Amino acid sequence: MNSKKYLVLGTGVGKAIAYLLAKSANTQQVTIGDIDTEKTVSICDFVNKFHKSKCVPTLFDADKNQNPIKLFQQFDVVISALPAKYNLRLAEVAIQANVHFCDLGGVVEVTEQMLKLNEQYPNMPVSVIPDCGLMPGLGVVIAKKLLQDLGGAYSIEILVGGLPQKPQPPTFYQKVFHSEGLKHICYDMAPILSDGEVISVKPFHDYGQLVVPELRCFSDKFNGRIEAFVTAGASLAALSFQKLGVRYFSEKTVRWPGFVDFFKTIPEFMFEEAVEEHLTIPVSNENPDLVWMRVTAKSELTGEKSISLLDLYDKETGLTAMQRTTGFPTAIIAEMMAGGKTKNGIFTPENAFDQANMNEILDRVSRLIPFR
């Protein structure tokens, strides 16, 4: 019997979230909320082509909706695919409405503030899970799975990035998600684990280049060569893994060579002015994107284990690789929240599930985005 109702806020990655939720036999309705009503109607038309009439649009202005508690109370789960700056307030409203809430997260300061709501709302009867999506989110859950498989690990490294399949100068990049997220990558301090201690490092820390054989087919210029550098994309995962005995942990963003040279010289106050004109290539059939990720855990006793994925722009649906790899894990987490498979309270994904339910997430994601 169809029973669950979801509210998805945001029309970027929200498109992929709504698409996958509507596909579930347990979903009664998916509502898309955004200030741009043309986009909400367009996404509902897209979803309903594939999944009958499960998707409906609604106007949602995150800046003007003072307290959308009555709206939230109509749903089983509220999912924010909006910029992270809105998520603290939306999470608190969801708690007050007794509704599950998850978001794409990615900003350390916001996630820290959300976790503090556990003190303000003890014994809450719902789950709040910030930092879902690709990274933070899926990559961190994979890392915990590898750690468990090895029986412990001293080192975990996550390499991940969304890249154009046809890189063009000067940035060799295209706008695969909101530019505010890119700004956080370029300027936020990043928590990492170094010799068992959590320290914060500047973005572009530990820069290096490597060759990824499965990326060779996308650019004759680079022949699979990418650059990697530490960013804050793992959110608070360093703290989680420190408690599990890991001594070294970092997340590195990957880009085609040339990205760092372009972005590292731009002062933060000039970011929008300097960058926007160079991120005008939309992801499309003509300019498709890809997402590549590799998670590696190392144990002194049981060796090394890694999982990687490579996802491409989907020409059949028009969903970008970034929408798929970010939206699909989030939708799966939301469905598991609605099914009562998460801990009540506020936890990041690697701490919100027991081992069986964590394995279920990875199994379901791997059917949509094959792991290697």
d(CA 250, CA 231): 8
Q: Residue 31 phi/psi, 5° resolution? A: -110, 130
139 or 186, greater pLDDT: 139
Evaluate if residue 198 carries a pLDDT over 80: yes
Per-residue pLDDT of 246-305, as tens digits, reads 999 999 999 999 999 988 888 888 888 877 777 767 889 999 999 999 999 999 999 999
Q: CB–CB of 257/171 below 8 Å?
A: no
* pLDDT for the residue 176: 65
Separation between Cα atoms, residue 190 and residue 199, nearest integer Å:
8
Residues 6+ apart with CB under 8 A from 168: 281
CA trace torsion 175, 176, 182, 185 (10° rounding)? -140
Query: Is residue 350 over pLDDT 90?
Result: yes
- Is the per-residue pLDDT at 214 higher than 60? yes
d(CA 142, CA 369): 13
The residue among 125, 109, 117 whose CA lies nearest residue 90 is 117
Instruction: Determine the Cα angle at 115 with ends 152 and 333, to 5°.
Output: 65
4-133+325-368 topology per CATH: Rossmann fold (3.40.50)
Q: How many CB atoms lie within 10 A of CB 287?
A: 14
pLDDT above 90 (res 203): no
pTM of the entire predicted model:
0.94
pLDDT band (50, 70, 90) for residue 2? low
Does residue 308 register a pLDDT over 60?
yes
CA distance 322 to 6: 21
Tell me the mean pLDDT in the region 127-156: 96
- When pLDDT is averaged across residues 65-81 and rounded to a whole number, the result is 92
**pLDDT at position 103 over 70:** yes
> What value does the CA radius of gyration of the chain take, rounded to a whole number of Å?
20
How is residue 253 written in tokens?
């963003």
Angle between helices 108-115 and 87-96 (to 10 degrees): 20
Q: Does residue 120 carry a pLDDT above 90?
A: yes
Domain ranges of the chain: 4-133+325-368, 135-322
Q: Which pLDDT tens digit goes with each residue over 163-177?
A: 999 998 888 888 766
* Number of residues that this document lists for the chain: 372
Q: Is the pLDDT of residue 365 over 80?
A: yes
Strand-pairing partners, residue 32, are 8, 57
Give the span between the Cα atoms of 243 and 221, in whole angstroms: 43
Interhelix angle for 355-368 vs 321-338, to 10°? 140
Q: What is the pLDDT of residue 320?
A: 95
More confident residue, 52 or 370: 370
* CATH architecture assignment, domain 135-322: 2-Layer Sandwich (3.30)
DSSP code at position 258: T
Is 51 or 245 the better-scoring residue by pLDDT? 245
What average pLDDT does this structure show over 32-50?
Answer: 94
Q: Say whether pLDDT at 178 is over 70.
A: no
135-322 and 4-133+325-368 share a CATH fold? no
Q: How far apart are CA 254 and CA 210, in angstroms?
A: 10
Residue type at 142? Answer: I
Indicate if the pLDDT at residue 110 is higher than 80.
Answer: yes
- Report, as an integer, the average pLDDT of 207-218: 95
Enter the tokens of residue 83.
């910029």
Helices 14-23, 37-50: inter-axial angle, 10-degree rounding: 30
Question: Which two structure tokens, joined as six digits, stand for 261?
Answer: 């040279």
Between 55-69, 128-142, 275-289, the lowest mean confidence (pLDDT) is in 275-289
Average pLDDT, the chain: 92
Q: Residue 64: its pLDDT value, please?
A: 82
pLDDT for position 265:
85
Q: What per-residue confidence (pLDDT) applies to 24?
A: 93
